[in-house]
Structure 1
């Protein structure tokens, strides 16, 4: 993928003037050009500049920082976690259902904390937490009762997801998360945010029912590299002015949730099908 100088400056939280200076003085400039002669940064060049920003923030002289930024730092291996088997996941879901039926929100929270600690957010969400919520929702629909069970269980999961430590550093915003204008279900976005925290990505969430004007204002002020818009119903997704957003921002647009299925989207809009895909999409866009 390639990036305009303006997008790179916004992504890294530096001024376009600084970007030009680093190009002229230290050769940290783009090597690609479009057919029209416009400069474009490759992902590896953005990664190099990201290291430059981090090094200068530590007080290292720009010339030395530029030299060090050209040296690739091998990524730390991800922590090894035990595999969550299908049988184990079914057993854990039964424990969640029992706690929820007893309206034992603290127990739901503790079970979720333990599950996330042991297996990570993505595995916990896809194998246990999301199916657990789906089953609760189906029971409410089938019986016409039990909304209180669903709400207390959701509260417990929300507490557990928000307990995942946010990256303890300053830096450029990786992703802005937002619900569609009338979308009230936020737990999937909370799961994505928690998973991004585990990947050491900085993110912000605008929460439920975000008007298009509010999303545009936030994009203008925060200038994230990626914006993820969640919708679980087609009517909610259809209310998002996706074409206008695509014109107004240089952030990569990601349409997440089942509400987008079947809707015509511009080719540039990414459409992850699972939490795993959404996390990998965001991380790969940033780290190359």
Structure 2
């Protein structure tokens, strides 16, 4: 997928007090003052006698240092690493899922969204999801400490990524006025976000995409839902993201009832023998 440039979502350059930064990052104000005095990690600009005011870049450096310290690195080495990173060319996009996890755990939704936008611009949407966001979610959800109700890091990350998905969809190229091929993406609950990513990526290539749930809701099963949709819309391709016996059942039903082409996506999709069904692992 082409790399979307999302420049309209930048975070305002609001300066924060040491108390506000302390609350956001979960580190005491006295510790932040000590780090500034001892290691030089603090506000970049500060007038003599004035209160500390942290700009977004200052907060990002502190967040990076906190992540290193929490990973087991001695404080002095973490500070040196942060200073060394500043000397390198600017890199705003994440390269490790752990970076996203630390930001999500800190509750920095706006900064997290900005970082994800940079990643999409540099690496593309599908790569950002599969290499950064999905592994970060797995790291968060596999932890044994549990999540605090109302402040779930996984939800913080998911919501930030959903905002980026919306922005990518809005910025898709406009195609010539012609009837595009319609693709229906069907997924179970566990693959919902992946289905959204695939759907948005396909719209960038000019396809008319709709996403249908393959779960049973309101007494309606997946095959019935697709039949109702295809009765009023011509469908050229069905992309299925799911697993297990339920997925196999509704795909087999759709293949038996229609001649529409079906593409199973994912290593955990069932293997179905049908001339209309193909399967790709990634």
- Does the residue aligned with 2:122 lie in a helix, a strand or coil? helix
In the other structure, the counterpart of 2:241 is: 230
Count of matched residue pairs: 185
**Following superposition of structure 1 onto structure 2, how do residues 101-112 of structure 1 map, counting pairs within 5 Å?**
101-112=105-116
Aligned-partner Cα distance in 2 for 1:89–1:79? 13
Cα root mean square deviation, aligned: 3.1
Match of 2:62 in 1: none
More helix by share: 1
Aligned counterpart in structure 2 of residue 193 of structure 1, from 174, 199, 207: 199
Gaps of 5+ in 1: 1-77, 82-87, 275-288
**Residue 253 (structure 2) aligned to one of 221, 244, 250:** 244
User: 2:262 maps to what in 1?
Assistant: 253
Q: Any gaps of 5 or more consecutive residues in structure 2?
A: 6-91
Q: Aligned-pair distance for 1:252?
A: 1.1
The 5-angstrom pairing of residues 98-137 of structure 1 reads 98-137=102-141
Alignment correspondent of 1:268:
276
Report if the CA contact (8 A) 1:101-1:149 is conserved.
yes
Query: Is the alpha carbon distance of 1:242 and 1:235 closer, same or farther for their aligned partners in structure 2, counting shifts above 3 Å?
Result: closer
Alignment correspondent of 1:203: 209
TM-score between the two structures when normalised by the length of structure 1: 0.55
Structure 2: how far apart are the matches of 1:230 and 1:146?
Answer: 30
Rg (Cα) greater in structure? 2
- For 2:214 and 2:255, the matched residues in 1 are separated by 21
SS at match of 2:210: strand
Q: Shift in Å at residue 174 of structure 1?
A: 3.2
Whether the 8 Å contact between 1:174 and 1:224 is mirrored in structure 2 is yes
TM-score, length basis structure 2: 0.56
Tell me the residue number matched to 2:98.
94
> 1:195, CA displacement in angstroms?
1.5
User: Is the 8 Å Cα contact of residues 184 and 209 (structure 1) preserved in structure 2?
Assistant: no
For 1:167 and 1:252, how far apart are their aligned partners in 2? 26
Deviates more, 1:113-122 or 1:167-176: 167-176
Shift of 1:100: 0.5
